[in-house]
Amino acid sequence: HSTAPARMGHIGENLLAPTLITYGTEEQKRRHLPPVARGEALWCQGYSEPGAGSDLAGIRTTATPDTTTGGYTVTGQKIWTSLALDADFCFVLARTDPGSIRHHGLSFLLLDMDQPGRIEVRPIRQLTGTSEFNEVFFDGARATETVGGEGNGWQVAMGLLARERGVSTLAQQIGFAEELGLVVAAAVASGAAEDPVIRARLVRQWAELDTMRRHALRTLGTTGDPGAPSVAKLLWGGWHQRLGELAVEVAGEA
């Protein structure tokens, strides 16, 4: 029993590419999509900051137009940047209008990660011993362009998040079904399945997973409903935590 590992190119393939298809110029699509499709360009996501996690509109990383290059100069800090150490490029949400607050005055910028002295990536060591997450420090880093135009960053960022929380998680349900199968098998093997409460909880997990799948299929053909992907995210996040708790109970002290 094992599901295939997550794809290294996930962020470029499933998050950036559909965003470029919706908001990017023809030139941006021609330049950035083929290397993503070929697996040659790995991207990372520069949204979260120490003071802007759930409250993403609190972003403080700034970007000022660079009149000589037509790009932007980026200064600030990101955190929880998955796979940043391996990434070739980063899309960054930054404040381009210095006087702006909250969701206004933000821009969605693209930058090359290979800028020694201007970009520093510091891995965050996790309890597991691995370092999927990183802190990323921008000190006058050069961003080449915006996607969707200066000041429209919030709209583009939310368009991307709708895909991240929705369609991009579809394959995850296959892994969830397999994990549930392992927990059911463990419950049968350990005798925990004799307990009617455990049995009811296993059935509930199965029914909720089936509901998630139907919700996903229902939303596949719809566009412009920003609520649907958020519902999906809420469903799977809680579901997976409850499966973990159930697995611990089924396995018992062992």
Ligand X SMILES: Cc1cc2nc3c(=O)[nH]c(=O)nc-3n(C[C@H](O)[C@H](O)[C@H](O)COP(=O)(O)OP(=O)(O)OC[C@H]3O[C@@H](n4cnc5c(N)ncnc54)[C@H](O)[C@@H]3O)c2cc1C
Q: Which parts of this chain interact with ligand X (CB under 6 A)? A: 44-48, 53-55, 80-82
| Of residues 44 and 246, the one with the C-beta less far from ligand X | 44
CA atoms within 13 A on the CB side of 228: 19
d(CA 55, CA 195): 42
| Residue 92 vs 187, nearer CB to ligand X | 92
Residue nearest to ligand X (CB): 53
CA distance 97 to 102: 11
- Comparison of 82 and 115: residue with beta carbon closer to ligand X: 82
As measured in angstroms, the least distance from the Cβ of 251 to ligand X is 24
Q: Among the residues of the chain, which ranges form H helices?
A: 10, 17-23, 26-37, 153-165, 172-190, 196-220, 227-251
Residue 179: CB minimum distance to ligand X, A? 16
| Cα separation, 39 vs 2, whole angstroms | 23
| Choice between 34 and 53, CB closer to ligand X | 53
| Helical pair 227-251 and 172-190, crossing angle rounded to 10 deg | 20
Q: Please, what is the minimum distance in Å from the beta carbon of residue 82 to ligand X?
A: 3
Q: Which of 81, 83, 85, 96 is nearest to 145 (CA)?
A: 96
Please give the distance of CA 24 from its chain centroid, rounded to a whole number. Answer: 19
Cβ closest to ligand X, residue 149 vs residue 238: 238
Among the listed residues 13, 164, 179, 208, the single catalytic one is: 164
Angle 195-199-200 from CA coordinates, rounded to 5°? 120
Asked about 164 being catalytic, the answer comes back as yes
* Catalytic positions: 164
